[in-house]
Structure 1
């Protein structure tokens, strides 16, 4: 475990060197936060209580959403893009030579990235939003702990999806097209465009049952205290997808490794 911890720490330090990019990203998220607030204020003025959220919940959703886009990797993440590129170019062979687990290695890299972006790009938009608007915050230590756990689970689920997309390059030669498709699905089903609670009928039920819902919508609902079934239900939903996706990732790793061995004679 010491090796993987060291990888995560070095990944954190690596991303901390991109100061201008980080500040630009935080500024962009803040600007979009104000834009989305204007849209949401209009929607909730027309339909008060839309999706079970009051106006304060809706505005809080906006700023949490903008703060979590980068840490969770809704638009993809540098680490998994790099993995996909290494698969495409064949450099992944170097990773497989290391006396480490491929999936855990890249999870450690992604964890360092996510932690840095959570501290920087996650905190700034929320702080700005809290200074301008009346936002909703957790009211107990248990709720704060639940938010931290569900957020960590959300990042893990997002990584597992992105990891398998990157490994798809073993079979389709170039994973960039699938990465674009995965980003579109992530934007729609995570709650980035609109909270999933406002989706009507079967569309909402399907959206809330996907693994992408577990990355963004679930942690925010736990923050707001609006998760149907409470904290336990939210955690069980995320744990289900963690088990499914991690097992799928392990299987993909095993099949990809076998493919490399066969291809290499």
Structure 2
């Protein structure tokens, strides 16, 4: 079904407002990200002082990588969650059938809500850890002011790629009835292949090339490298555009795959529970 842009905007606003009500949880989460930022930054400092230039990063870039990745973890839902928890709960209660009768595309509804959630998390749990890292003298800001809008565009594309991956897992519940096992597997893959734990350039050559070609690298690794200006301090150079194109390609492919999976799944819906 077709819906107006205004409806999707209203859904996104609703997603933003929904998460803004959890103020205590947001503060606790920002504090947790900041604490882990200091712990991981100390670890990276020790590692890079022992092996300068490891992975092609200098010490300042390596520590900044940690703070930027901590700022992105919840924004791009690298750990999973977000709309996935809602969909899984609705499968259990049978309310998923109601979702399919809404006058709006199923994927479009959840994507709009997810963009609202991501916007809120970026403004709160994203900015706070990074600001602390900068004030502590550990994180280095980009040299060019033009890097900021390119970085934000990269973050948006990262959210789309992450959503595409998680939506495919969620839609699998139409056949599996419970996608928790698949979600757990996706989490493990995401932890290692997104650059969440370590920059992918530290991986052995064959594994590095494979990881950098897979969609998970578009979630954490690419936005971090854009922020660090590893492709140059001129944001619109060929290398930067190539990385953004890589993210866009995976976003389009995954969203198209999600629409196809949705079409196949809803031909015959098995409703659990109510």
Q: Could you tell me which of 154, 159, 162 is aligned with 2:158?
A: 154
Q: Could you tell me which of 128, 133, 142 is aligned with 1:129?
A: 133
Alpha-carbon shift at residue 87 of structure 1 (Å): 2.6
Q: Structure 1, residues 80-119: CA drift from partner, whole Å, max 9, x if none?
A: 2211222343211101110101001000111111110100
Give distance in 2, aligned partners of 1:38 and 1:141: 28
Alpha-carbon shift at residue 261 of structure 1 (Å): 8.4
Q: Could you tell me which of 58, 67, 73 is aligned with 1:63?
A: 67
Q: Which runs of 5+ in 2 are unaligned?
A: 233-237
Query: Where do residues 175-254 of structure 1 align in structure 2 (5 Å cutoff)?
Result: 175-227=179-231, 230-254=239-263
Alpha-carbon shift at residue 259 of structure 1 (Å): 1.9
Matched, 1:73 2:77: yes
**What is the SS of the residue equivalent to 1:194?**
coil
* Worse-superposed segment, 223-232 or 2-11: 223-232
Greater helix proportion:
1
Q: Could you tell me which of 141, 146, 149 is aligned with 1:145?
A: 149
Give distance in 2, aligned partners of 1:142 and 1:125: 22
Give distance in 2, aligned partners of 1:185 and 1:90: 29
**What is the SS of the residue equivalent to 1:174?**
coil
Give distance in 2, aligned partners of 1:209 and 1:64: 21
Asked whether the equivalents of residues 174 and 270 of structure 2 are also in contact (C-alpha less than 8 Å), the reply is no
Give distance in 1, aligned partners of 2:229 and 2:15: 33
Q: Normalising by the residue count of structure 1, what TM-score does the alignment of the two structures yield? A: 0.95
**What is the SS of the residue equivalent to 2:78?**
coil
Asked whether the equivalents of residues 91 and 271 of structure 2 are also in contact (C-alpha less than 8 Å), the reply is no
Asked whether the equivalents of residues 130 and 139 of structure 2 are also in contact (C-alpha less than 8 Å), the reply is no
Matched, 1:54 2:75: no
Alpha-carbon shift at residue 134 of structure 1 (Å): 4.1
Asked whether the equivalents of residues 162 and 219 of structure 2 are also in contact (C-alpha less than 8 Å), the reply is yes
Alpha-carbon shift at residue 262 of structure 1 (Å): 11
Partner of 1:41: 45
Partner of 2:264: 255
Partner of 1:117: 121
Aligned residues: 263
Q: Normalising by the residue count of structure 2, what TM-score does the alignment of the two structures yield? A: 0.92
* Worse-superposed segment, 142-151 or 164-173: 142-151
Q: Structure 1, residues 211-258: CA drift from partner, whole Å, max 9, x if none?
A: 110011001101111149621110111111112101100101101111
Give distance in 1, aligned partners of 2:77 and 2:175: 24
* Worse-superposed segment, 101-110 or 254-263: 254-263
Q: Structure 1, residues 156-198: CA drift from partner, whole Å, max 9, x if none?
A: 1001111111111111110111111111111111111111111
Alpha-carbon shift at residue 204 of structure 1 (Å): 0.8
